[in-house]
Amino acid sequence: MGLKQIDPVRWVLERDFKIGMKVTGLIYGDSYIIQNLEKEGALTQIANVACLPGILKHSFAMPDVHWGYGFPIGGVAAFSLNEGIISPGGVGYDISCGVRVMLTFIEEKEVASCIDELTAALFSRVPSGVGSKGALKISETELLSVLAKGALWAVKKGYGRSEDLECIEERGTLPHANPDAVSKKAIERGKPQLGTLGSGNHFLEIQVIDEIYDENVARQFGLNPGQVTVMIHCGSRGLGHQVCDDYIKVMLRAMNKYGINVPDRQLCCAPLKSEEAKQYLGAMQAAANYALANREIIGHLVREVFGDFFPKSDLKLLYDVSHNMAHIEKHGVEGKQADVCVHRKGATRAFPPGHPSLPERYRQVGQPVIIPGSMGTESYILVGTKRGMEECFASTCHGAGRVLSRKAAMKSEKADTILKRLEDRGIKVMAETIGTVREEIPEAYKDVSRVVDVVEKAGISRKVARLRPLAVIKG
């Protein structure tokens, strides 16, 4: 009963694992990943998601899967628009948390000569830390405009460039955002935080491309060995957290109304056809627009700092993609193309070559997929594949995935030792709080290279390039 390996990187969680499972679980992993998975509660969470009404194909778990709340982190589930549901717990509190990579035209040796000063300047210019406030002072009316227009708002206000927009998912604006569905409380939390990195696992990193795996795709993406890049990881801050909290209350009441039972209250949901679902989708998209604007503004601040150090240089956006979202997308289900609602919680959308949503420049090769490693380890650029589109609703992993609790990580090493160890490897770290450095030690995460190898072996995305960190800014 339970878990059955069907090929070197695929495991099926049988329906007899838990009463009420409507579909099987499909987990991507090698023996190392499955061993870690079996130690914690993620299997039960994969099974719980499989119990939700209208779920299609499988309850998927990417190789960075780990115990979350409601959905596991690394979970993907798609639902029929007619019989299915939408669940705020399947998106998470940090709505549209995501990553962007910006390409410089600078080589490692040029940055190495001023890395301390450059890192300090970025740390000073980009607000970070718990409850950090942005450099932007905006009115409530302006914030409503952010919620409606996303990154486009930032570009129009001079905090970004119009050419960035085509390299942001959904062209930088979620079109069905409904600012009126966002509560006053959420607006109050979001207003002072626009343009801030936040804390926890969010970061800003200066990196260098140290290996190319696919020269053709790398050329199309504009990636070259030795080229310096900047990666930004953050989300919708307190505004997104409040939207999720508000709509969990709405969904708890909707479940009574529609007679839905779920095995974990955090999975509370409403039928996709219901008014409650429509309201949540509008609020969630508005929060996602906030996140897209947030990353565009931070990208603008990064450009300003790099401009001070390298006046002739420029930073071009490779791609910006969320890994906590629910999207209505067209996919093949039972031999037909249909609109479905894909929840990705700690998983990345990965469209294949030829997908109509991709910008012209990437349409021939597929979508750039950004996989951040843990602090002090490599990150990867992948590309979406046809198999990923057909098998798992165009989804792949989103990072390394934790293996060690924060409490255990805090006990393992002193901050000074961690910083020295990373410095010896040529990685400069600046953090708002020492606790974050200790919680985010590289050993708290799985080996990102093994995670990425699994998605490549499974054929659901492909490696294009590896990025090595030079400097890390943590909140």
Report the residue from 25, 29, 54, 70 that binds another protein according to the rule CB under 8 A.
70
Determine contact, residues 88/236, Cβ cutoff 8 Å: no
Q: Which range of residues in 219-227, 384-392, 399-407, 447-455 is near another protein by CB under 8 A? A: 399-407
**Residue range at the interface with another protein (CB under 8 A); choices 88-96, 147-155, 279-287, 418-426:** 88-96
- Does 188 bind another protein (CB under 8 A)? Our answer is yes
Q: Binding segment for another protein among 7-15, 60-68, 292-300, 327-335 (CB under 8 A)?
A: 60-68
Residues 6+ apart with CB under 8 A from 133: 127, 192, 193, 196
What is the smallest separation between the CB atom of 402 and another protein, expressed in angstroms? 5
Q: Which is nearer to another protein, 29 or 366 (CB)?
A: 29
Q: 233, 327, 343, 398: which is the annotated catalytic residue? A: 398
Minimum Å distance from CB 245 to another protein? 5
In the bound complex, what is the minimum distance in angstroms from residue 199's beta carbon to another protein? 4
264 binds another protein (CB under 8 A): yes
Q: Under rule CB under 8 A, which residues in 98-137 are in contact with another protein?
A: 130-131
The nearest distance, CB 218 to another protein, in angstroms, is: 32
The two tokens of residue 274 are: 């219901």
| Among 22, 125, 316, 406, interactor with another protein by CB under 8 A | 406
Q: Which of 380, 330, 374 is nearest to 356 (CA)?
A: 330
> Between 15 and 185, whose beta carbon lies closer to another protein?
185
Look up 398 and say whether it is catalytic: yes
Q: Using the rule CB under 8 A, which residue among 21, 46, 209, 244 binds another protein?
A: 244
Contact between 32 and another protein per CB under 8 A = no
405 part of the interface to another protein, by CB under 8 A? yes
Work out which of 100, 241, 355, 428 binds another protein, going by CB under 8 A.
241
52 is a contact residue toward another protein (CB under 8 A)? no
Nearer to another protein, 204 or 381 (CB): 204
Q: Which of 26, 56, 76, 248 binds another protein (CB under 8 A)?
A: 248
Nearest Cα to Cα of residue 402 among 39, 24, 100 = 39
CA distance 295 to 154: 9
Q: Taking a C-beta distance cutoff of 8 angstroms, is the pair 410, 438 a contact? A: yes
Determine if 407 is a binding residue for another protein (CB under 8 A): yes
Structure tokens at 135: 């450099």
Between 249 and 330, whose beta carbon lies closer to another protein? 249
The residues in 305-334 that bind another protein, with binding defined as CB under 8 A, are none
Under the criterion CB under 8 A, does residue 195 sit at the interface with another protein? no
By CB under 8 A, which span of 92-100, 284-292, 300-308, 450-458 interacts with another protein? 92-100
Size of the site for another protein (CB under 8 A): 45
The nearer residue to another protein, 188 or 453, going by C-beta atoms, is 188
Candidate residues 29, 75, 127, 238; the one interacting with another protein per rule CB under 8 A: 238
Handedness of CA 83, 6, 263, 200 (dihedral sign): negative
Instruction: Indicate which residues carry an active-site annotation.
Output: 398
> Where on the chain is the footprint of another protein (CB under 8 A)?
40-42, 66-70, 73, 89, 92-94, 130-131, 185, 188-189, 198-200, 238, 241-242, 244-245, 248-249, 252-253, 264-266, 268, 402-408, 433, 435, 439, 475
